[in-house]
Amino acid sequence: MQIAFVADETALFEDGQAALAVLVFEDAPSSVADAVDRRTGGALGRSLNAGRFTGASGKTLSVWGVEGIAGPLVVMVGAGKREALDAAGVEAAAAHAYAAAKSSGAETLAILLPARSAEFAARAAMGARLAAYRFDRYRTTEKPEQKPTLKRVVVAAEDAGAAETAYAPLAALAEGVEFARDLASEPANVLYPDEFARRVQALTDIGLEVEVLDEAEMARLGMGALLGVGQGSVRDSRLVVAQWRGGGDAQPLAFVGKGVCFDTGGISIKPAEGMEDMKWDMGGAGAVAGLMKTLALRKAKVNAVGLLGLVENMPDGAAQRPGDVVKSLSGQTIEVINTDAEGRLVLADALWYCQERFKPRFMVDLATLTGAIIISLGHDYAGLFANDDGLAEALTQAGTVEGEKLWRLPLPAAYEKQIESPIADMKNIGGRPAGSITAALFLQKFVNGLPWAHLDIAAVAWRKDSGWPTVPQGATGFGVRLLNRLCQGYEG
Ligand code: BES
Ligand code: MN
Ligand code: ZN
């Protein structure tokens, strides 16, 4: 998707390849909409009056073959109430405009905003770009008429240069989101731990330092919990350590991702139906990889480390059995009651390694950890758990601003009883009650008292519908925007 900003859009009215998107308020006239309406001899106004379109946000009205406009259509995009329109609203409106025009035949989408500040123009570009994401690597027989036709988004801005400047960090962010979406979309026969590690290693090009620990190294260190999960797979496990040093000698911020490239459940195997969804079980690691890419691309003034625990959870003759006891890097032993509760085993070693080696200011882990979080919160919120109120607050705020919403759940010490084992220091499942909470309590035993937060993203890592304007169905990249925003708060 090409993005451009122009100060004067009149040429686009005469461009037969350009669809126009005009933001329309619910409660106020806008001068752009009026100007376009005059050009069209009042055609837009008549369409507006004839239908039910009110300018409410989230709604669009497409008018085809409008006189005075050379392109195939004009999309009127609801912008809601004038006073309430902010950058996030502009971003969403642009995303809706993109969706309405993507297969119209037009190659260019020209977005006309009611207020043309650099910030609004940049966010409009971001919205259209994220809405345009599509993973089509493996579609070889799609006919041209089935493909989207839009190739370019042009946003009208008061000062095109200033809009370009405002867009640069958002482009870095979009690249991180797209990277995370690409990683998650790849099927597990393509993206196994070593391939995932290679794709992150390629980011050394943009200034990240990347180390990849192999199984021998992890065994030497004593990562029995992580290695136990991967031992039934012919694909070797990896731990990736990516560092971005843009913050001088400041203590780093640490991000840890669950990267189960495929989760069959292991010997505690999952039912066949829907098992294909478990290719998304590396969404946490994908988001951390995307974040690190964004930080490097925009040369963030912050020190950050990203750890990815990469495994494949398979059943075979070498696989871990229910009842096995493993020794984690921390020295604590774990009775593995259910081999399908594998994410916490991977994170246990990654978190311990992280705090011991980096002594970070805080750690945030992201994991598609429990089906129970889907039951608790549905698909619009990720679960948040934290041992630190300040960190929880900062994450919640960042999520609100970026449209990646979090909802905090408690970590009651009393529930630790549920993960007591008769023969080891703990067991890896706590039964049905509060399944997401007992998973988080398990993780907490591996943070060594450091400020820490856990995001259970099982319900938000991918979408089956297009419920969020900037997220077409499929991988969401959830977490990249939120964590990038969090990092901004620590930049000097
Ligand atoms: N990867 C799954 C969690 C998951 C389920 C993510 C559905 C996305 C959609 C995780 O490894 C898992 O299997 N969790 C079990 C834990 C249980 C055995 C305690 C679960 O949630 O059923
Ligand atoms: Mn599992
Ligand atoms: Zn899993």
Other C-beta atoms lying within 10 Å of the C-beta of residue 485: 19
Among 287, 260, 279, residue whose Cα is nearest residue 200? 287
Residues with CB under 6 Å of ligand 1 are 263, 281, 338, 340-343, 368-372, 429, 435, 458
The residue from 82, 245, 270, 361 that is catalytic is 270
Q: How many CB atoms lie within 10 A of CB 326?
A: 23
Give, for 294, the enclosing helix (H) or strand (E). Answer: helix 283-297
Token readout for 228 is 């136990």
* Catalytic residue chosen out of the listed positions 344, 427, 481, 485: 344
Model pLDDT, residue 48 = 84
The pLDDT of residue 466 is 78
Burial of 50 (0-12, 13-18, 19+ CB in 10 A): exposed
SS3 call for 43: helix
**Of 73, 97, 70, nearest to 11 (Cα)?**
70
| 172 within 8 A of 27, measured Cβ to Cβ | no
Per-residue pLDDT of 428-468, as tens digits, reads 999 999 999 999 999 999 999 999 999 999 999 999 987 89
CA–CA separation, 368 and 278 (whole Å): 9
Residue 429 is predicted with a pLDDT of 98
Q: Which residues surround the ion ligand 3 when the cut-off is CB under 5 Å?
A: 260, 263, 281, 343
pLDDT in tens, 376-402: 999 999 999 999 999 999 999 999 999
**Residue in 200, 189, 198, 202 with CA at minimum distance from that of residue 138:** 189
What integer pLDDT is reported at residue 452 of this predicted model?
Answer: 99
